[in-house]
Structure 1
Amino acid sequence: MRPRFSIALLSEDSSEPTWLGLRAILEKLLHRFEENGYTPRVEVVPVDPTVRPVLIANQWRSTKQKDEHKKRELWRYLARKIAEPGGFVIFHYDGDTTWARRAEAKTREQFDREIRNRVAQVLSGARRSPDEIAQMLGRIIECVPFYSIEAWTYQATAKAIALCREKHRGDDIPTFEAWSADRTKLDEVHKPKEKTCLGGEHNEMLGKSVAVWDVVQAGGSMMWFVWSLHACRDLEDALALPSSGP
């Protein structure tokens, strides 16, 4: 069966393994999100290569004039994607604070200013009503791990411990054991990628091994992301529809 809906997964991270790990986490969440279980009705795709550079290192937040053209390309791409009948966007950027200090994070304010407001301006050029624009903007879903994506990929603690033992002579096994015992701790680690021997090198393998619903039940930033998925009515409606024929 061919997918009926397409989710463009955008990430500030330049690493393809990290994108693949994030996609694996998203697909596991979508599996539970659908009432009747996962079906091929949804495909998760990378962003167009033409706009990929402006995502790296959060250039989309730049206020420099030299970056304006690249940002405009991104706004137009996002507007096209969410205007498609089956088009959605999940936009990953790191919270850049710990979960407990999330109220201090500037990233969400920057996202509203540099993405939502600008995409709304692009959509308004096609004489759409305010209600239509608001509904389309709801198809841009923020994915914000606190402090960073490793707060999620490192939740695959059993796999991480095995990697520490296999590749780093057991370094940091006690750290991952502590995170396994209390899954709320990782959201409170400042720059977790710098705290272990694994770095971001194994994010694809780790993402595929995360027991996502154990993490969601612990609360924190992954639960917040699940709430964001459910808050998108168009996505809920899309996933509830039966699959079409082949």
Structure 2
Amino acid sequence: MALTEDSGTGAYDTVRALAKEMLKLLVPGVQTHRVNFKPLEDDNARRAMHANLWKSTNPLDQPNRLLLIRSIITELLKPNGFVLYHLDGDRPWSEHESSENEREFKSRMLPPIEAGVRAYFQRQPHDAAVPGERMKRLRLLVPFYSIEAWLYQNTREARRLCEEEGCKQCPVKLAGWEEDRASLDEETKPKERLCFQDKHNAHLASSGFPARDVYDAGASFTRAVDGLLECDELTTALERTYAPPEPQSP
């Protein structure tokens, strides 16, 4: 299940495409077409995600927050269920430790989700480590400042889009980011830095996204990928999507 705080057209497709690129870095040779990505289908639960409304203390918003929590728990309890949850850090990368969104998610959302997972396994015989391993299946994808800091790393496509249908002034800025990819994570509100803003997000994520180069930059994309590696069950599941080549006879 791929979840995102963004509510715009193409938001789910954008996160799904980025997630596929991340999975390719985890397990070389992974067949992502055999991974069944899906969005959150419950409209009310989605309302709690959008703009991080799950942080609201308004009593009227609590039913939707609970629906979101239950949806995540349900997915984690499935034999092959994993949840990738995108929320923006809303800070430059150098200030990532002060991200309110990430801190609030961990303090307000993780405890009830974990309680639900543990309650399920308490009703049946299980290894004591199972609930903790299931919780590792919930992974946060947190770009800093926002998801555009990852998407604009596709400088080749961004340059083409600007030159063909935009202001034709953005390539200079894109060249600077291409030379120092980590600097994009230091941009405040990067969506406002390019003329087309978020108009082409899904395309940038799915058309030649330079995942290895972005990972090597050592910023928020790197941390997100390394976070996925903390879930051994995920890498094991991904390895099942392909058959390694037969060893050659001497």
Structure 1 position 25, deviation (Å): 1.8
How far, CA to CA, are the matches of 2:130 and 2:206 in structure 1?
A: 36
Q: TM-score, normalised by structure 2?
A: 0.89
**Residue 82 of structure 1 aligns to which amino acid in structure 2?**
L
Q: Among all aligned residue pairs of Structure 1 and Structure 2, give the percentage whose two residues are the same amino acid.
A: 31
Contact kept, 8 Å, 2:27 with 2:238, in 1: the verdict is yes
Partner of 2:218: 219
Partner of 2:113: 119
Structure 1 position 44, deviation (Å): 1.5
Structure 1 position 127, deviation (Å): 4.9
How far, CA to CA, are the matches of 1:42 and 1:102 in structure 2?
A: 30
Q: CA offsets per residue over residues 162-211 of structure 1, 9 Å max, x none?
A: 11111223032211111112111100000100122111111011111321
Equivalent residues in 2 for 1:167-186 (5 A)?
A: 167-186=165-184
Instruction: Give 3-state SS (helix, strand or coil) of 1:90's partner.
Output: strand
Contact kept, 8 Å, 1:98 with 1:187, in 2: the verdict is yes
How far, CA to CA, are the matches of 2:93 and 2:137 in structure 1?
A: 25
Q: CA offsets per residue over residues 26-59 of structure 1, 9 Å max, x none?
A: 1122123224432543121111233211111111
How far, CA to CA, are the matches of 2:163 and 2:32 in structure 1?
A: 36
Uncovered stretches (5+) of structure 1, i.e. residues with no partner: 1-7
How far, CA to CA, are the matches of 1:77 and 1:87 in structure 2?
A: 11
Q: TM-score, normalised by structure 1?
A: 0.90
Contact kept, 8 Å, 1:148 with 1:191, in 2: the verdict is yes
How far, CA to CA, are the matches of 1:113 and 1:19 in structure 2?
A: 25
Structure 1 position 242, deviation (Å): 5.3
Which is further off, 164-173 or 76-85?
A: 164-173
Equivalent residues in 2 for 1:70-219 (5 A)?
A: 70-128=64-122, 131-209=129-207, 210-219=209-218
Contact kept, 8 Å, 1:30 with 1:38, in 2: the verdict is no
How far, CA to CA, are the matches of 1:108 and 1:84 in structure 2?
A: 25
**Residue 186 of structure 1 aligns to which amino acid in structure 2?**
L
Q: CA RMSD in A?
A: 1.8
How far, CA to CA, are the matches of 1:108 and 1:54 in structure 2?
A: 15
Partner of 1:5: none
1:49 aligns with 2:48: no
Structure 1 residues 35 and 175: CA distance shift in structure 2, 3 A:
closer
**Residue 142 of structure 2 aligns to which amino acid in structure 1?**
V
How far, CA to CA, are the matches of 1:18 and 1:180 in structure 2?
A: 24
How far, CA to CA, are the matches of 1:62 and 1:39 in structure 2?
A: 35
How far, CA to CA, are the matches of 1:236 and 1:19 in structure 2?
A: 22
Uncovered stretches (5+) of structure 2, i.e. residues with no partner: 244-250
Contact kept, 8 Å, 2:30 with 2:239, in 1: the verdict is no
Partner of 2:7: 14
State the aligned residue count.
237
How far, CA to CA, are the matches of 1:123 and 1:58 in structure 2?
A: 22
Contact kept, 8 Å, 1:32 with 1:38, in 2: the verdict is no
Contact kept, 8 Å, 1:94 with 1:146, in 2: the verdict is yes
How far, CA to CA, are the matches of 2:32 and 2:111 in structure 1?
A: 34
Instruction: Give 3-state SS (helix, strand or coil) of 1:91's partner.
Output: strand
Which structure dedicates a bigger proportion of its chain to strand? 1
Structure 1 residues 46 and 127: CA distance shift in structure 2, 3 A:
closer
